[in-house]
């Protein structure tokens, strides 16, 4: 299903854009992102906010769809085996390898930003002091959640896999909701609003620790189950309508959300949560419709990007955190630094995939695919 493969890959790769931009934003992201370029711009905060509002919800809807496809096409046992191989094992390998590299990169850049005499030595001392141990899952939290969701989805599917009056009624109801454009937007927005109310924030936050924050966990599970239900009800084709209209309305509501001078009352918080839920769901269905309409055909370039995206996302964090430290002393505009960090990170990640991963055991370990050797980008 080319549209969903492309959608999942692009949402994953947008993480590079987000992580390249966040260093140059003016907002203080605390321990979540402990490096900040001294020269920064609020425009990068706007970019980060926009991507953050839709990227992972869309990704988890796509992941839920593919989880259901595996369950019903390959069987429950094969589905679990596949998820362990493609999610759980890469999670363990990624955390053990990427975590110390990322900690080194963050420490180096933080030292470079304050003009420390030897930032490389500062970063190395952090590692040898014991910080190389994976105290968190960093950007790989989505794999951590996804393996748990796979088991939860498997359990729910086993319970609903029998034909009973309840399961038949549930499937009929879900089908009716998903087949009606504004009804599906309204129902999922209401459920999303309840989740945001539970979280207590007008935006969806990230859980990058080993310990799970239940409201955040269940919110992303809502999106995962939405994708699962789309497959079960066979309503995917119904989701291809009005891509530009949905994305346009979502963008307008997002800008209203960002630039309105909201107060601090509890009523205002509820309004913001409701607005965020509405444009978040419009973004989800808008991007699904966009990719179903324009990207549901075989493309050699997109196929290559899909194959590479998993590796690129796993390995990009240390690179995108390290490069700003190298540019710290450059007297150039912050927008050029951002473009340099983004383009170089993307180039290094894709080059490493093409020359070291694609035709190796690492590529097969991540995706289960083997590729013939090729000197041409985009060919298999």
Angle subtended at Cα 373 by Cα 143 and Cα 359, rounded to the nearest 5 degrees: 25
What's the start-to-end Cα distance of the chain, in Å?
Answer: 18
Measured between alpha carbons, how far is 355 from 347 in angstroms, rounded to an integer? 12
pLDDT grade for 373, boundaries at 50, 70 and 90:
low
Q: What is the DSSP letter of 130?
A: I
15 membership: H or E segment, kind and range: helix 2-22
* Residue-wise pLDDT tens digits, 139-173: 999 999 999 999 999 998 888 877 778 888 888 99
Q: Using a CB cutoff of 8 Å and minimum separation of 24, what contacts does 78-83 make?
A: 79/150, 79/154, 80/150, 80/151, 80/154, 82/368, 83/146, 83/147, 83/150, 83/151
pTM of the model: 0.93
How many other CB atoms are found less than 10 A from the CB of residue 338? 24
Across 34-61, b (16+ Cβ under 10 Å) vs e yields ebbbeebbeebbbbbbbbbbbbbbbbbb
Contact assessment for residue 320 and residue 16, using Cβ atoms and an 8 Å cutoff = yes
Measured between alpha carbons, how far is 230 from 220 in angstroms, rounded to an integer? 16
Across 213-234, b (16+ Cβ under 10 Å) vs e yields eebbeebbbbbbbbbbbbbbbe
- Report residue 59 as tokens: 């990704």
How many other CB atoms are found less than 10 A from the CB of residue 303? 17
Measured between alpha carbons, how far is 299 from 307 in angstroms, rounded to an integer? 12
Mean pLDDT of all residues in 209-215: 93
* Residue-wise pLDDT tens digits, 308-343: 999 999 999 999 999 999 999 888 999 999 999 999
pLDDT grade for 380, boundaries at 50, 70 and 90:
very low
Which residue has tokens 């419009």?
Answer: 282
* Residue-wise pLDDT tens digits, 269-299: 999 999 999 999 999 999 999 999 999 888 8
Contact assessment for residue 157 and residue 76, using Cβ atoms and an 8 Å cutoff = yes
Measured between alpha carbons, how far is 311 from 365 in angstroms, rounded to an integer? 10
Mean pLDDT of all residues in 230-253: 94
Contact assessment for residue 85 and residue 9, using Cβ atoms and an 8 Å cutoff = no
Which residue has tokens 């959608």?
Answer: 7
Asked if residue 377 has pLDDT above 70, the reply is no
* Residue-wise pLDDT tens digits, 66-101: 999 999 999 989 999 999 999 999 999 999 999 999
Q: Name which of 96, 121, 97, 119 is nearest 109 in CA terms.
A: 119
Q: What is the DSSP letter of 23?
A: T
Angle subtended at Cα 354 by Cα 370 and Cα 308, rounded to the nearest 5 degrees: 70
Measured between alpha carbons, how far is 96 from 108 in angstroms, rounded to an integer? 19
Measured between alpha carbons, how far is 176 from 173 in angstroms, rounded to an integer? 5
Greatest alpha-carbon span in the chain: 71
Q: What is the pLDDT of residue 247?
A: 97
Which residue has tokens 């966040």?
Answer: 22
pLDDT grade for 372, boundaries at 50, 70 and 90:
low
Asked if residue 240 has pLDDT above 60, the reply is yes
Q: What is the pLDDT of residue 28?
A: 87
Q: What is the pLDDT of residue 317?
A: 96
Angle subtended at Cα 49 by Cα 46 and Cα 50, rounded to the nearest 5 degrees: 85
Looking at every residue in the chain, the average pLDDT score rounds to 91
Phi-psi region of 25 (alpha: psi -120 to 50; beta: other; left: phi over 0): beta
Mean pLDDT of all residues in 102-127: 92
């Amino acid at each position: 299903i080319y549209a969903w493969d492309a959608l999942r890959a692009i949402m994953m790769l947008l993480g590079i854009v987000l992580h390249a931009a966040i260093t140059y934003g003016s907002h203080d992201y605390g321990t979540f992102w402990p490096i900040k370029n001294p020269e920064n711009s609020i425009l990068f905060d706007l970019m980060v906010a926009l991507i953050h509002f839709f990227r992972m919800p869309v990704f988890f809807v796509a992941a839920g769809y593919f989880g259901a496809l595996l369950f019903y096409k390959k069987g429950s046992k094969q589905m679990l085996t596949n998820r362990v191989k493609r999610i759980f094992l890469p999670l363990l390998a990624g955390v053990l390898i990427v975590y110390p590299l990322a900690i080194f990169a963050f420490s180096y850049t933080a030292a470079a930003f304050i003009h420390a005499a030897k930032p490389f030595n500062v970063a190395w001392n952090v590692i040898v002091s014991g910080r190389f141990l994976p105290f968190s899952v960093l950007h790989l939290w989505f794999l951590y959640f996804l393996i748990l969701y796979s088991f939860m989805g498997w359990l729910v599917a086993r319970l609903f896999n029998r034909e009973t009056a309840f399961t038949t009624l549930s499937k009929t109801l879900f089908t009716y909701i998903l087949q009606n454009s504004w009804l599906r937007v309204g129902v999922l927005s209401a459920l999303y609003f309840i989740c945001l109310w539970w979280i207590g924030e007008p935006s969806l936050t990230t859980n990058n620790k080993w310990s799970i924050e239940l409201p955040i966990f269940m919110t992303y599970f809502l999106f995962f189950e939405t994708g699962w239900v789309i497959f079960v009800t066979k309503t995917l084709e119904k989701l291809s309508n009005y891509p530009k209209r949905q994305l346009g309305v979502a963008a307008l509501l997002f800008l209203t959300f960002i630039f309105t001078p909201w107060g601090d009352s509890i009523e205002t918080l509820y309004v913001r949560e409701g607005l965020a839920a509405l444009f978040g769901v419009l973004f989800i269905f808008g991007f699904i419709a966009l990719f179903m309409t324009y990207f549901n055909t075989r493309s050699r370039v997109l196929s290559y990007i899909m194959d590479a995206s998993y590796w690129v996302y796993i390995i990009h964090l240390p690179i995108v955190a390290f490069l700003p430290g190298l540019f710290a002393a450059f007297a150039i505009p912050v927008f050029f630094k951002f473009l340099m960090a983004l383009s170089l990170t993307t180039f290094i990640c894709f080059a490493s995939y093409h020359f070291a991963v694609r035709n190796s055991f690492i590529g097969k370990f991540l995706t289960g695919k083997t590729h013939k050797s090729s000197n041409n980008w985009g060919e298999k």
